[in-house]
């Protein structure tokens, strides 16, 4: 899994149209919370290769993060067919991510 947040973000309309399971991972490359959470996020998502994972660099004036009202980093938004079904802010336990993934996938084994 790439641990770099992309400075290029897709438009909200494109994200809303994504079929299936998607995780939006908002943060920045310099954020200590974001860097510390990467192994946990990678572990959860590596087990779910069918889930689209977008690492989006966030900050003031970034429209995608503002449209989801992101306040803290990292914030992971779990989408099913473009609709938010779960959110995890500053994950610290694998269970938090597993539970959120279970809401957007049909084959997560708890």
**Known catalytic residue: 89?**
no
Closest listed residue to residue 80, CA positions, set 49, 102, 99:
102
31 has catalytic annotation: yes
Catalytic residue among 18, 20, 31, 102: 31
Catalytic residue among 24, 34, 70, 101: 34
- What is the C-alpha to C-alpha distance for residues 21 and 50, in angstroms, rounded to an integer? 8
Q: Tell me the C-alpha distance between 29 and 36, whole Å.
A: 11
Give the DSSP H/E element, type plus range, for residue 63: helix 63-67
Please identify every residue annotated as catalytic. Answer: 31, 34
């Amino acid at each position: 899994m790439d641990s770099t947040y992309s400075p290029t973000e897709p438009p909200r309309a494109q994200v809303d149209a994504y079929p299936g399971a998607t995780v939006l991972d908002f943060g920045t490359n310099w954020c200590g919370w974001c860097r510390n959470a990467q192994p946990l996020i990678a572990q959860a998502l590596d087990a779910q290769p069918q889930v689209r994972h977008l690492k989006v660099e966030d900050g003031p004036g970034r429209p995608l993060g503002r449209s989801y009202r992101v306040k803290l980093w990292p914030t992971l938004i779990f989408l099913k067919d473009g609709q938010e079904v779960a959110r995890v802010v500053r994950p610290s336990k694998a269970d938090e991510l597993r539970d959120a993934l279970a809401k957007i996938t049909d084959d997560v084994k708890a």
